[in-house]
């Protein structure tokens, strides 16, 4: 399962909320390859071309 993380940030300070998503993903055994928005732009574009 591929997933993305979002912070729902309404200010720059809200970007710190990303650590909560990463923490939960680690508890669920997710790896960097499972998280779409942890990829480089080139890797993300390649994923889009392969899937869609």
User: CA 35, CA 5: separation in Å to the nearest integer?
Assistant: 7
Residue 46 has what pLDDT? 92
User: CA 52, CA 48: separation in Å to the nearest integer?
Assistant: 6
Residue 51: pLDDT above 80? no
Residue 15 has what pLDDT? 82
Half-sphere exposure at residue 36, Cβ-oriented, CA atoms within 13 angstroms: 12
Residue 2 has what pLDDT? 84
For residue range 4-37, what is the model confidence (pLDDT) as tens digits? 888 788 888 888 888 888 888 889 898 888 888 8
pTM (predicted TM-score):
0.60
Residue 42: pLDDT above 90? yes
């Amino acid at each position: 399962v591929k997933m993305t993380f979002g912070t729902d940030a309404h200010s720059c300070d809200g970007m710190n909320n990303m650590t909560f998503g990463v923490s939960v993903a680690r508890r669920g055994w997710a790896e960097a390859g499972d998280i779409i928005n942890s990829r480089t732009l080139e890797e993300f574009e390649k994923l889009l071309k392969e899937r869609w």
